[in-house]
Amino acid sequence: MTYHLILGDYAYSSWSLRGWLLFEKFGIPRRETLLSFFDDVGVAAQMADHAPAKTVPTMVTEDGIPVSDSLAIAEELASRHPDAGLWPTNPKHRAVARTLAAEMHSGFTALRGDCPMNLRTAYADSAPRKEVLADVARLETIWNWARETCESDTPWLCGNYSAADAFFAPVAARLAGYSLPMSEMAEAYVTAHLTDPAFQKWRALGLEIGETLPWYKKDYPVKDWPA
């Protein structure tokens, strides 16, 4: 079974990174189409052949059904590939992983809004607002809770790499890329993402393919990419 995975810009599309990792990290075959964020034609119009989908990532199943949300993609892949390991096999750990992925999916609006993912640039100081710092504190709370509850002795939240970790990969890029203050635990988790071969492959694609989009630029002092 081969899927058609439709993605946005490698450097800037955080949700596309999540969707791509669900395939890349779990060995699920797909063919990929990359849409342009620089095109005068918007993403929804570029996806007209896959209506009603209008956002990236979108997974088109072998029978032609568009699944156009990262969390829906995760659950559909887990159903179709139960042995791939997208969610932990331990029921308690699986509940933790799903809880974290769902909170990431619906929350952290200050962090998202103020610190959009940008894999082409890193900033030495982003002068974070208190709302952003509150989001970072919440991340540390749930990451600590997950590691303790699942007794994880790996770099990942619930033991083996899971869909929950895929959902936090763009968050790791934000925390590092905007030099946000982190605890030692959070910094280790962020480093695990930034040094993961799949993440590095995606970032390399982002540096080689696509345009530098000026509307993502922030007026902060720049630094070298942290990993």
Domain with residue 49: its CATH number is: 3.40.30.10
| Banded model confidence at residue 142, pLDDT cuts 50, 70, 90 | very high
Query: Is residue 121 located within the same domain as residue 174?
Result: yes
pLDDT, position 112: 97
56, 38, 43: which is closest to 211 by C-alpha?
38
How, if at all, do strands 30-34 and 58-60 pair?
unpaired
Query: Is residue 95 located within the same domain as residue 204?
Result: yes
109 lies in some domain: yes
190 lies in some domain: yes
* Cα–Cα distance for residue pair 89/130, rounded to 1 Å: 38
Residue 38 has pLDDT above 90, yes or no: no
Query: Is residue 107 located within the same domain as residue 181?
Result: yes
Three-class SS of residue 191? helix
Domain count, the chain: 2
* Domain range enclosing 48: 3-80
Average pLDDT value for the chain: 96
* Cα–Cα distance for residue pair 141/136, rounded to 1 Å: 9
Query: Is residue 8 located within the same domain as residue 111?
Result: no
pLDDT, position 43: 87
**Region 70-82 average pLDDT:** 97
Percent with pLDDT over 90 in the chain? 90
Where helices occur in 61-162 by DSSP H, the ranges are: 70-80, 91-106, 109-114, 130-150
| Banded model confidence at residue 227, pLDDT cuts 50, 70, 90 | confident
One-letter amino acid at 166 equals: A
pLDDT, position 179: 98
* Cα–Cα distance for residue pair 65/142, rounded to 1 Å: 34
Question: pLDDT (tens digit, 9 = 90+) per residue, 163-219?
Answer: 999 999 999 999 999 999 999 999 999 999 999 999 999 999 999 998 889 999 999
- Residue 39: exposed, middle, or buried by beta-carbon count in 10 A (0-12, 13-18, 19+)? exposed
Question: pLDDT (tens digit, 9 = 90+) per residue, 93-128?
Answer: 999 999 999 999 999 999 999 999 999 999 999 999
Supply 12's token pair: 């800037």
pLDDT, position 1: 64
Query: Is residue 203 located within the same domain as residue 141?
Result: yes
Query: Is residue 153 located within the same domain as residue 75?
Result: no
Residue 91: asked if its preceding bond is cis (omega within 30°), the reply is: no
Three-class SS of residue 58? strand
**Region 2-8 average pLDDT:** 95
220 lies in some domain: no
Using the 3D structure, point to which of 80, 110, 126 is the last residue of a domain.
80
Residue 19 has pLDDT above 80, yes or no: yes
Query: Is residue 113 located within the same domain as residue 168?
Result: yes
Q: How many CB atoms lie within 10 A of CB 148?
A: 10
Buried b (16+ CB within 10 A) or exposed e, 76-112: bbbeeeeebbbbbeeeebbebbbebbeebbeebebbb
Domain with residue 176: its CATH number is: 1.20.1050.10
